[in-house]
Structure 1
Amino acid sequence: MLLGTVPATMQITFITPGTRGDVQPAALVAAELHRRGHRVVLATADDLVPMGRALGLETVPLGVDIRAFLRSDEGSEFLRTGGTRAYLTGIAAFKQRIAPTFFPAVIAASSGADVIVGNHLTIEEVRHIAGVARIPVVALVHSPRRSNRFFPAFSVSTARLPGAVNLMTHRIAARRDRIANAEYLGDFRRALGLTRRPEDRGEFPPPDLEVQAYSSLLVPELRDWSPIRPLTGFPRATAHDHTRWGDAGVDGRLEEWLAAGEPPVFFGFGSMPVRDPAAMTALVTRVCAELGVRGLIGAGWSDFGDREDSERVRVVGSVDHAAVLPRCVVAVHHGGAGTTAEAVTAGIPSVVCAVSFDQPFWGQRLEDRGLGTWMPFAQLTGARLVEAIRPLLGPDARRRARSFRTSLAAEDGTRGAADAIEAAGAPARRGR
């Protein structure tokens, strides 16, 4: 085989639990690699196994249910406050609870892999597995999580800070993570036959490749970040993908409602459960009435029950964002990378109501590009929402959003990520 060429076939294992926004991009990239002839194993959250299998992937459950965590006492406290302490405490306790089933599932799924791919939730686990097996390890992430001068660590600050301070926040975040997960990671090392703590600080190096699966058009500061951290664009699902998942298009009743009036404002909070759906529906109704617009609520993971729709506001379950958002005028959402990508792809501005994680980051990126605004979800009120939405209903905001959509269309995030992962696996495969 010529130097630099990609091997004919590899086994590429994805260890990517999480919410749909975490898992869908990985599944799309995995499906592209499968289409190229590689054996691909997708190990993911139990409730999202059907997503991978519908794409024709060998998909195995990890015994993880992120929805259950977000509805637990720890998860509810985190969602209420959006605080880092609540998150670190909650996720550490959750990991310890699932460890007896999660550890063997991760290790079994990785067996025989030539390349192993993790996400922000599993990068330490896959790094250790890859180190023991002496295979390349890849991180597939949806926001910048490594130290850089442009943006602070999400778990430390959402403010605009000087470059040196940004670097410091990443050191603080890394130390917090090590402390919070020390017991869990020690147990995982024991499951791999290692000592609980590394005997050598350089025992296992960082990932060979950290695919930044988001658009440099939204984060131009990091366009030339590092050869091992390429910004490959947002992996986007096709209409055919949605058909295979069984959520394609717009159903008849929703189609009738959409066609009966002006394009609505979309309100959806995805995998972030709404604590009081009745109060949220009432708030949306008041906001829409004051603005003179219609509202479409996408319930996502929240249980809005059997609520009677009004002429002004309609509630639906999960929706095909690619089909619905282009028919809306503004999207109000939690600011996850996936929903952010769907909104900019649809060519509409956003109001991000961020809980935590990378959501404030994406809200600020949209604001910086003139594509929307953001606020903390904990500070959400009807008055603030009216104030945020009103200017986005005007022609200037809509024109900027449509122009950005045109620029974004040139990117193929799925192919770009697959190309990078293939190339990362080539040297190891040649050595066999």
Structure 2
Amino acid sequence: MRVLLASRGSRGDIEPLAGLAARLTAKNAEVTIAAPPDPEFTDLAARADARHLPVDAPIRQMVQSIAKGTGPSMHQHIREILASHGPAFTAVAEEGCDAFVATGLFPVVATAQAVAERYGIPFASAALQPTTLPSHTQRPFPMPGWPLPEDLDNRALWEWDKQKMQAIFGEPVNAYRESIGLPPTEDVRTRTLTDHRWLATDPVLSPWEPTDLIDVVQTGAWILPDERPLPADLEAFLDAGEPPVYIGFGSIPVRDAEDAARAVVESVRAHGRRAVLSRGWARLAPIDDRDDCFVIDEVNQQALFPRVAAIVHHGGAGTTHTATRSGTPQVVVPQIVDQPYWAGRVAELGIGARHDGPVPTTETLTAALATALDPETGRRAAELGPKIRTDGADTAADLVLNMTA
């Protein structure tokens, strides 16, 4: 069986696909991961024994341009995605493919769905977090220029969301559909995402309440096992004293990296702790030459997180799952999109603290770390960690293999 897994985004969008790919290849499927051409995604595909199909420009380049305010307009970006991903997905379809699974940015999913429809290939849409799924218990995510009407209940808001999505994406998506011989759609959201979706989150960390607005299958998180050893110098630092505090914001370019680094390091020192500072896309760097702060680039978080005293992070879905599974308390400093949701879940479960707002200061982080380092928080985190499922990718792989049954 040949399978295409597609997304466009940062590591948090692509690594779950690699987790799914690893289980599919273990079940003798041939898997192609369509993702940006960044070298880290080639490495992820290789770890999953899958083929990496590079599509469009590097995502790091795009994210940094958006952070600087120099990126393309939303309408331009939509058209660029359709133009770059359409031929790539078509080539895979014409080579022979048995199933398409897409997640991430809506235009990517729309392109994958249209190509799958054109060639009669079974298609599935997956979400890596629940906030984009219609539900009577939550409101749609607002988009720039489209504030949510205040006078509508949740059900009516999701109907309004259909109109919003049609207004934003309908014209370019329908133009693409017609260019490959498909009829236009008057409900681009449902046509693209379908009314039956997969949710790749853990049911303990992120419980889904069934709703009559959509049919959702919650598989559990798609985790790529990581057996890589930690670097020797990091091992030496960990062994040289009490467990340090980890700080990293992953693929998020924070607003002022120098101020953020100062805030996190000073707050850790206020608690008499050492720090492991992950450079990441925020380009965090040491604030002085003291030996209580160790700087790392990308490492095996599955191996590192159980060995630290607390984890300060941005609240991406993947990092939150890994941190929770480690049994280590967290401080979440949410920046964008679904990150406030994950910060809220960490606080509600009592396994860490939610920072108030995206800009950390020494004072606010010192207070949040006090909550995370409290022994009771640590006890709850340690109790919850083993309850996080690790079979989500296997469950999803079986769903993929049954798509053509």
- TM-score by shorter chain over 0.5: yes
Distance 2:24 2:387 in 1: 26
Q: How does 1:234-273 map to 2 (within 5 A)?
A: 234-240=221-227, 248-273=228-253
Is the CA contact (8 Å cut-off) linking 1:43 and 1:60 kept in structure 2? yes
Equivalent pairs counted in the alignment come to 395
Distance 2:189 2:139 in 1: 25
Is the CA contact (8 Å cut-off) linking 2:350 and 2:377 kept in structure 1? yes
Distance 1:103 1:237 in 2: 28
1:37 alignment partner, one of 28, 44, 52: 28
Is the CA contact (8 Å cut-off) linking 1:42 and 1:60 kept in structure 2? yes
Name the structure 2 match of 1:28.
19
Which protein, 1 or 2, shows the higher relative CO under an 8 Å CA cutoff with sep ≥ 6? 1
Offset, 1:361: 0.9
Name the structure 2 match of 1:317.
297
Distance 1:345 1:325 in 2: 9
CA RMSD in angstroms comes to: 3.1
1:116 alignment partner, one of 100, 106, 121: 100
1:143 alignment partner, one of 120, 129, 153: 129
Seen in structure 2, the aligned counterparts of structure 1 residues 314 and 233 have a Cα distance that, compared at 3 Å, is same
Name the structure 2 match of 1:82.
none
Is the CA contact (8 Å cut-off) linking 2:166 and 2:186 kept in structure 1? no
Distance 1:191 1:308 in 2: 57
Name the structure 2 match of 1:424.
403
Is the CA contact (8 Å cut-off) linking 2:9 and 2:104 kept in structure 1? no
Name the structure 1 match of 2:141.
154
Name the structure 2 match of 1:386.
366
Post-superposition Cα deviations, 1:183-203, rounded to whole Å, max 9, x if no partner, equal: 4323422442345x4379899
Q: Percent identity, aligned pairs only?
A: 27
Name the structure 1 match of 2:147.
none
TM-score normalised by the chain length of structure 1 = 0.82
Offset, 1:317: 1.2
Q: How does 1:73-84 map to 2 (within 5 A)?
A: 74-77=66-69
Distance 1:200 1:389 in 2: 46
Structure 1 residue identity aligned to 2:133? R
Distance 1:90 1:294 in 2: 42
Q: How does 1:155-174 map to 2 (within 5 A)?
A: 155=142, 165-174=153-162
Name the structure 2 match of 1:233.
220
Quick check: 1:365 aligned with 2:361? no
Post-superposition Cα deviations, 1:129-186, rounded to whole Å, max 9, x if no partner, equal: 22222332111221112210222223369xxxx9x73334434444333323334323
Distance 1:271 1:384 in 2: 22
Structure 1 residue identity aligned to 2:110? E
Seen in structure 2, the aligned counterparts of structure 1 residues 192 and 298 have a Cα distance that, compared at 3 Å, is same
Seen in structure 2, the aligned counterparts of structure 1 residues 151 and 194 have a Cα distance that, compared at 3 Å, is same
2:37 alignment partner, one of 41, 46, 50: 46
Structure 2 residue identity aligned to 1:423? N
Distance 1:251 1:198 in 2: 52
Structure 1 residue identity aligned to 2:194? P
1:188 alignment partner, one of 156, 176, 186: 176
Seen in structure 2, the aligned counterparts of structure 1 residues 223 and 402 have a Cα distance that, compared at 3 Å, is farther
TM-score normalised by the chain length of structure 2 = 0.87
Distance 2:157 2:68 in 1: 26
Distance 2:87 2:358 in 1: 38
Distance 2:134 2:179 in 1: 30
Quick check: 1:60 aligned with 2:56? no
